[in-house]
């Protein structure tokens, strides 16, 4: 895969960076070890993940607990 960053020789990743609500960051690229947002062209929150994520459900429960 070739992109602008590839041809420029920049350190970057073609995976999608997934930001979880508990500050855990994941990348869809198996070999990716540097989860800097700058290295990723695509960044989503886990709320945008198809089928949702376990931690979005937990966050809702937590917010209800704080509100009461
Ligand atoms: Zn590239
Ligand atoms: Zn999550
Ligand atoms: Zn990555």
Distance CA 23, CA 27 (A): 13
Which residues, by Cβ under 5 Å, contact ligand 1, an ion? 3, 5-6
Domain hosting residue 61, numbered range: 4-67
Complete DSSP assignment for 7-32: HTT---EEEEEEE-TTS-EEESSTT-
Q: What is the 35 CA–ligand 3 centroid distance (Å)?
A: 6
Tell me, in angstroms, the distance from the centre of ligand 3 to residue 22's CA. Answer: 18
Q: For residue range 7-49, what is the model confidence (pLDDT) as tens digits?
A: 999 999 999 999 998 889 999 999 999 999 999 999 999 989 8
Looking at residue 6, its pLDDT comes to 94
Helix (H) or strand (E) holding 57: helix 54-67
9: CA distance to ligand 2 center in Å?
31
State the total domains in the chain.
1
Output the CA angle 34-31-26, nearest 5 degrees: 55
Distance, CA 56 to ligand 3 centroid (Å)? 22
């Amino acid at each position: 895969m070739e992109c602008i960053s590839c041809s420029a020789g920049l350190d970057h990743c073609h995976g999608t960076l997934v930001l979880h609500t508990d500050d855990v960051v994941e990348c869809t690229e198996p070999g990716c070890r540097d989860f800097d947002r700058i290295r990723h062209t695509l960044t989503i929150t886990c709320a945008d993940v198809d089928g949702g994520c376990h931690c979005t459900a937990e966050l809702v429960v937590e917010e209800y607990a704080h509100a009461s």
